[in-house]
Chains A and B, each alone.
Chain A
């Protein structure tokens, strides 16, 4: 709770949280709040511009674009969240284990991680979809596996630093079990780093999900997704040159907010020593600093 309060004090985090709350609302209730059935085809009103009946117009078979954007939020966002969860579940425990349980396991996990890092997201997802069939779950499993090395490396780096701190060594000397030490001293320190990584990774996963949908992979039509809508809109640019703006804006707002949130979480929790974007110094402080520089 204290972290949330600290986050709320940061203006960019407030903005990001509000945007993400709206996106979450759409993800959960988007379909119910949509003014039209997102699959209903008004075939006499194909490729219409914004109007009172259809606030963002209609698509190539006459479906209400606003309703499809709202309904499409669920699959787009949940797909990304699912991929990040899979990545976290694979990467975080293996990162902790590699730092804690000896060199042999460390060597194996590092080699697996190195192998996964060199695989390109989209190509791997296409290969998995080609092998296991074209579906959202298959694509998300593929992305989750490729995201896992990010979690692995962040967790491992944080855990390795904590391995030699005095209070951890003291706990071990006093007879604490490895599990107790991990839970009591390590996990709380690793968690903020995982949270920052998760926020960044969700943004990246969202773009990959959109890319796959753009290529016709993952979600099958007519189910709406942001990437799928963007893809189909490009076929009708002559009729609706503005149409791709709507799904693109939603994607930009969501990914941007996730990145802002990640920065803010880092600042609020001190997850890393890297400074957040420098804030403008107060004029008086600035002048003081300048005088110091001149006189020194």
Chain B
């Protein structure tokens, strides 16, 4: 087998006076609420103030949310990156090559890389970072690197992975959290500090972080594409309240903010730039097949047919997005077009499935919501009731979702979203793997495992790779209980900020300017 290498590409009476005073006070109070204006500097420099999300931690090894990768990419660099189609392209590594057996891969780093503190980012640092990710107690990325037998540095620029089995997914895998390189000088001294003070080589470095409030960052002059970063600072805030988000951008409190479907028209009417960016985010239901009533496959099958996804998209997201029955978006290599509308809304079929299974009375269930997309949750509850599943909504705080749903597996049915993963095999592991966060009952399928083995053993540029992966998608979608609903693009409102690059997997800020 040849070596496989990827290369780059009026009258003042008392009442009047009182009214005037109240009015003036109100104006002053509103001015105060508006905060300081952001991003007023010119194109070279300026601050990008983004109301988006704060990560669960600034340490990629212990991060528990898939969406954290977006924020972590502001301060860390991954070894590789993904192009628009989801193929691995060079980032820290300028190239990589598998050996003929497919059990050894060498990543060759660019020359002259440094961390934000100026220390060298060489092969030794990368090897130590990977080693920590696969061996540190409590690492949440370790399961994805199970097939690494040994990681070592060869010279200053070559990082060599020796694998216990053939696995061609590493170049994809290393485009995300798994491949983010953490400065060993920091984690060898105080790994716990990484939770609040990241140490990477990304486009920005954190100067202030107030948990659950905001993170202030400044441009990292040592970033490998520092010339492409046109802003001098980046302030990150949690997602703004829907009731005030448009006003917040108008007033200058933020200059970029994430919008819900309900705010799109309002933002346009306010004269803001609204940009819809494709993403890999798909809303879904996590179903625990070890808990009643979903321990009965007939109920799970009925659940899949009972939901009118088009209606949910139209009502809950104001028509923005696309109905989807699988974890990947159309155009992505793992998307299986043959699945079509495999679970198209068919309430009669859902009722029949329940009747055939012997259910004569409404089937009780508990439907957990962490407060996101309340409209969608209430629509689904009503649709389930229509077919004979009486779901009671159990609202939990958003901060407890990870603990209760992903770690304790104590919820039978939960409204959730899957942010996608850089490697499709990694996505399968999260959704359908034996240790998958979104596989509450840890259900496994020998058929899927066998298919994924074939996928891993096939080079990603092999002509057979897409069909093998799509077959894995078919098996997963038709045998696992996860219910996929619709793809939700990222919608942002901008004021005085240029277009954001269109990248479905990561939000990047190269070339973004403020005015």
Contact = CB atoms under 8 A, between A and B. Distances in A.
A195 interface: no
A57 to B, nearest CB: 15
A237 B243 contact: yes
A130 B260 CA distance: 28
B393 interface: yes
B203 to A, nearest CB: 33
Given A222-B381, A238-B266, A60 B375 contact: yes
B262 A236 contact: yes
Given A222-B378, A222-B381, A62 B242 contact: no
A222 B241 CA distance: 21
A290 interface: no
A286 B52 CA distance: 66
A235 B371 CA distance: 12
Interface string B186-200: 000000000000000
Given A39-B382, A216-B371, A221-B374, A134 B395 contact: yes
Given A61-B375, A221-B378, A235 B315 contact: no
A243 to B, nearest CB: 11
Interface string B230-249: 00000000000111001000
A176 interface: no
A67 to B, nearest CB: 15
Contact of A238 (B265, B375, B394, B396): B265
Contacts of B40: none
A43 B380 CA distance: 12
A60 B393 CA distance: 17
A222 B376 CA distance: 12
Contacts of A232: 374
A127 interface: no
Interface string A213-244: 00010001110000000001011111100000
B306 to A, nearest CB: 15
Contact of B379 (A61, A130, A216): A61
A201 to B, nearest CB: 27
Contacts of B241: 234
Given A43-B311, A235-B242, A238-B265, A216 B382 contact: no
B311 A238 contact: no
Contacts, number: 56
A277 B266 CA distance: 47
A221 B392 CA distance: 9
Given A235-B262, A236-B262, A46 B396 contact: no
B513 interface: no
A62 B375 CA distance: 10
Nearest to B392: A220
B263 A61 contact: no
B146 to A, nearest CB: 37
Interface centre among B382, B394, B396, by most A CB within 10 Å? Answer: B382
Interface in B251-282: 260, 262-263, 265-266, 269
Contacts of A235: 242-243, 260, 262, 374
A234 B246 CA distance: 13
A222 B382 CA distance: 9
A41 B315 CA distance: 11
Interface size class of A (residues with CB under 8 A): 20 to 34
A156 B445 CA distance: 69
Interface string A183-227: 000000000000000000000000000000000100011100000
Nearest to A60: B375
A220 B379 contact: no
A72 to B, nearest CB: 15
Contacts of B315: 43, 46, 60-62
Interface in A16-47: 39, 41, 43, 46
A209 to B, nearest CB: 16
A61 B378 contact: yes
Contacts of A237: 243
Main secondary structure of the interface of A (DSSP, over half): loop
A75 B394 CA distance: 17
Contacts of A216: 371, 395
B243 A234 contact: yes
Contact of B262 (A220, A221, A222, A238): A238
A38 to B, nearest CB: 12
Contact of B395 (A39, A46, A221): A221
Contact of A220 (B242, B260, B395): B395
Interface string B391-402: 011111100000
Contacts of B382: 39, 41, 61, 222
A89 to B, nearest CB: 29
Contacts of A239: 262
A134 B396 contact: yes
Nearest to B377: A221
B393 A222 contact: yes
A130 B399 CA distance: 12
B379 A43 contact: yes
A235 B378 CA distance: 15
Contacts of A41: 378-379, 382
A245 to B, nearest CB: 15
B377 to A, nearest CB: 8
B263 A220 contact: no
Contacts of B316: 61
B389 to A, nearest CB: 15
A126 to B, nearest CB: 9
Interface string B359-380: 0000000000001001101110
B320 to A, nearest CB: 14
A290 to B, nearest CB: 23
A236 B377 CA distance: 16
Contacts of A130: 397
B372 to A, nearest CB: 11
Nearest to B379: A61
A221 B391 CA distance: 11
Interface string A48-67: 00000000000011100000
B240 to A, nearest CB: 12
A130 B246 CA distance: 32
A238 B246 contact: yes
B59 to A, nearest CB: 27
Nearest to B385: A39
B9 to A, nearest CB: 42
A220 B391 CA distance: 12
Contacts of B394: 134, 220
A43 B316 CA distance: 10
Contacts of A39: 382
Nearest to A59: B375
Interface string A122-151: 000000001000100000000000000000
The 8 A-B pairs of least Cβ separation, nearest first, read: A238-B266, A234-B243, A235-B242, A222-B378, A60-B375, A41-B382, A220-B393, A221-B393
Given A216-B371, A222-B393, A238-B263, 8 more contacts: A41-B378, A60-B262, A61-B382, A130-B397, A134-B394, A216-B395, A220-B394, A234-B243
28 contacts: A39-B382, A41-B379, A43-B311, A43-B314, A60-B262, A60-B315, A60-B375, A62-B315, A130-B397, A134-B395, A134-B396, A216-B371, A220-B393, A220-B394, A220-B395, A221-B393, A221-B395, A222-B393, A232-B374, A234-B241, A235-B243, A235-B260, A235-B374, A236-B262, A238-B246, A238-B262, A238-B263, A238-B266
